[in-house]
Structure formats: C-alpha cells, structure tokens
Structure 1
Amino acid sequence: MRAYRFDHVHLRTPDPDATARFFETMFGAEVTRDVYPPGTLYPGQLRVTMRLGGQTVLLAPPHPQEPTAPAPRFPYFGLEHIGLAVDDVDAAAEELRAKGAEVAIGPLMRSPGLRLAFIRGPEGIMVELVQRR
C-alpha cells in the first residue's frame, strides 16, 4: 500500500491575521506571514502558515469565487476540532481562560485516564485539550 503522511490542516477565516494571533497568544503557535504571489487564488492577500504541536496549519481568507458558509453548530460531522495534548488540562484551561479564551466545555473526565476541555476560537474553531494518563 502507498505510504501517506500527514501534511496540514487548512482553516478558512475572514481574518487570517486575527486567527493567527489567537493561536500565537493562546497556544504559542509559530506563525509565518507573507503575501500570496501573482497567479494564485488570492494574489496580494495575506498568507498565514502556523506550526502548532509539530504540525502545519494553513489559514486562508474567504474563497474569492465561492460563498463561504459560517461554521456549523458544534458538534457536527466532518473535521470538527483540532486536538492538542497537554500534561495538565485543568491548568492549561485556566491559563487560557486568564488570557481571555472561552473554555466552551470542561475540563472534564471523558473516561478513565482521559481528561479534556474544549476552547472556542475565532469563527467557532474548536481546540480540544487532551490529557492522557
């Protein structure tokens, strides 16, 4: 079988810079900002790439030729959230709340050895904090 490797998550947002600032402030994401070159779908617009937990997350503005729908009500089918592992969910949730984040769910014990919380970000982006023991 062909080998597949994880490459990226792509988030669409009306304000990529504001969404990037949220991930920088709340989760320490490493953010690169530049401009889409001529001949691309978004020439001259801000292009944002983040490194978060060792993975690449791309942030793009609304599609120029297609209407962009708002995020559905959580929970929903499809790509629902980004999960980040932490050593202490309670401490992480409290730290994020102190920075102004909305702790939408938890912290709570999902099952023995699994504690979690959900943070609601811009455009309804959900980030799960996971503590496994």
Structure 2
Amino acid sequence: MGIRRFDHVGINVDDLDAAVAFFVALGLEASPVQQMEGGYLDDILALEGVRTEMVYLTVPGGVDASGVALPGSSAFELSRYVHPGGAGPDAPGGAAASAPNAHGPRHVCFEVDDLDASLAVVAEHGHAPLGRVIETHGYRLVYVRGPEGLIVELAQRLG
C-alpha cells in the first residue's frame, strides 16, 4: 500500500469562464469543458441531481486531446456546480474560511518563468498581490488573490 503520485486538486467556483481565463493567461492549458451529471457523482458526493461543468488545467502538454491528464501529470480541476449550486463566500463561515491562515486548503502554488510578467497578467485580470514580493530559499515569491478569492502563490526560481 502506498501513494503512487499526486493526481489533482479540485476547486469549486461560480464563474468557471473567468477562473479558467485567469489560469490560462498565467500559462496553464485547459481541457475542453466537461458536462457531468448524476450517477456516480451523486454517489461519491452524497448529493442528489448533481450537474457540474469541469475543466482540467495542467502545465503545457499535460492533457491528451480528450482533456484527460496524461500519466505522470498533475491537474488543477475547476468545477462549477450547476445543481445543487455551490456554497460561495457568503455561506456560513465564508469570510473566516477565506483567510490565508484559516485551517484547510489555503493556496495553490505555481512555478513561473517570469514573476513580473505573471503579476502583469494578474493585474490585467483585475487582481492584486496580497503582500509584497519576497526573495527566499532561491525563489522570488508572492501571494495573489485570484478569481473568487482563490489564493495563488507564484514562485520564480532564481539563478
């Protein structure tokens, strides 16, 4: 028994198009939108009448023509719940749950080629850094708040 590899991380959003556009602009590749409903989704999620739209995002070359992550590749899965609707930041605990130091999933980190160019893309999409750019442990790092409050760390390897 053992873990073989990291497969994917799933993030639920209300505006799938805006979230996909943001991450594609940063350099990820997107699969086609997949419409999924009922059956096994109802079973695994313990919900009824589930309908979702989902996109897999990977580093360039990480998905096949059908949008499935290639062996050895990891994916960032963005989903929009059509039914039942998603629980956004106004749901109970939403504001506290969105704090960077709250328990649970807080951020996703992507290594980028050019941090300054990536920050320009972030600004073009109407988002901004949470703090200042720092240099530590051989990287330039910054946290940004992206679509729907998602916290994204951008890391540029130095040298």
Note whether the superposition's TM-score is higher than 0.5: yes
One-letter amino acid of the counterpart of residue 47, structure 1: M
Q: C-alpha displacement at 1:73, in angstroms?
A: 1.6
- 8 A Cα contact 2:10 2:78, kept in partner: yes
Root mean square deviation of aligned Cα? 2.8
**What is the CA–CA distance in structure 1 between the aligned matches of 2:147 and 2:128, rounded to whole Å?**
10
Per-residue CA deviation, residues 51-110 of structure 1 (Å, 9 max, x unaligned), is 24653111223472885543522232222111111233234323432454322222222x
Is 1:49 the counterpart of 2:53? The answer is: no
User: Which has more strand, going by share of residues?
Assistant: 1
- Residues 3, 38 of structure 1: CA spacing in aligned structure 2 closer, same or farther, 3 A cutoff? closer
Q: C-alpha displacement at 1:125, in angstroms?
A: 0.6
In structure 1, the partner of 2:21 is: 21
Structure 1: give runs of 5+ residues left out of the alignment.
none
**What is the CA–CA distance in structure 1 between the aligned matches of 2:121 and 2:84, rounded to whole Å?**
37
Is 1:64 the counterpart of 2:71? The answer is: no
Per-residue CA deviation, residues 21-57 of structure 1 (Å, 9 max, x unaligned), is 22123334323202114423433x4222222465311
**What is the CA–CA distance in structure 2 between the aligned matches of 1:64 and 1:56, rounded to whole Å?**
24
In structure 2, the partner of 1:5 is: 5
TM-score with structure 2 length normalisation? 0.65
- 8 A Cα contact 1:89 1:131, kept in partner: yes
Is 1:96 the counterpart of 2:122? The answer is: yes
- Taking only the aligned residue pairs, the percentage that are identical comes to 31
- Residues 20, 99 of structure 1: CA spacing in aligned structure 2 closer, same or farther, 3 A cutoff? closer
Is 1:130 the counterpart of 2:130? The answer is: no
Is 1:81 the counterpart of 2:101? The answer is: no
- Residues 31, 103 of structure 1: CA spacing in aligned structure 2 closer, same or farther, 3 A cutoff? farther
**What is the CA–CA distance in structure 1 between the aligned matches of 2:29 and 2:35, rounded to whole Å?**
19
